[in-house]
């Protein structure tokens, strides 16, 4: 999975360093849930103690700009997740209990564009929050025990 990200980096004229490769490898474990940027920073400092915080944050920002990771801020915490699909536009359902992220195919942008005649929408971010089917099932099992 990181080979696609490496190709994107190369296409955008970024060098493939061992630090970037390690960062990609770590982030690739977070395709179904977000990880805080501070946890990413902590992990990278464990492997590369001399690596500056600025370098880590700059790489995260660059990864976001070219579509390798997705970024969100919730409750004041910045988090990222590895892009689950590099090809098509999509949105997410995020479980508030376990943090699992599921891809949602339908985009509501057409609905909003119809309500804004004469306007040009040039970006959007859409997420749904709730409790996933697994957490509901586990809660039901625990209440029946």
Domains along the chain? 2-82 (1.10.10.10), 91-144 (3.30.1490.190)
Q: Is 84 annotated in some ligand binding site?
A: no
Please give the full DSSP string across 10-72, using - where no structure is assigned. HHTT----HHHHHHHHHHTT-SSB-EEHHHHHHHHHHH-TT--HHHHHHHHHHHHHTTSEEEE
Is residue 135 annotated as involved in ligand binding?
Answer: yes
CA distances from 86 to 5, 67, 69, 131 (A): 9, 7, 9, 26
**98 in a labelled binding site:** yes
Predicted TM-score (pTM) of this structure: 0.67
**Tens digit of pLDDT for each residue in 41-76?**
999 999 999 999 999 999 999 999 888 998 888 778
Q: What percent of the chain has pLDDT over 90?
A: 40
Say whether 88 counts as a known binding-site residue: no
The per-residue pLDDT for 86 is: 54
Return the pLDDT at 50. 94
pLDDT score for 41? 96
CB 127 within 8 A of CB 90: no
């Amino acid at each position: 999975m990181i080979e696609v990200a490496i190709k994107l980096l190369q296409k955008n004229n970024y060098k493939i360093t061992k630090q970037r490769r390690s960062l990609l490898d770590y982030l690739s474990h977070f395709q179904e849930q977000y990880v805080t940027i501070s946890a990413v920073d902590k992990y990278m400092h464990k492997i590369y103690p001399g690596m500056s915080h600025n370098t880590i944050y700059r790489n995260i920002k660059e990864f976001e700009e070219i579509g390798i990771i997705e970024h969100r801020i919730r409750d004041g915490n910045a988090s990222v997740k590895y892009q689950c699909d590099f090809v098509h536009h999509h949105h997410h359902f995020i479980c508030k209990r376990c943090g699992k992220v599921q891809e949602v195919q339908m985009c509501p942008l057409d609905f909003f564009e119809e309500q804004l005649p004469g306007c040009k929408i040039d970006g959007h971010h859409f997420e749904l929050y709730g409790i996933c089917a697994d957490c509901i099932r586990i809660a039901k099992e625990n209440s029946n025990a």
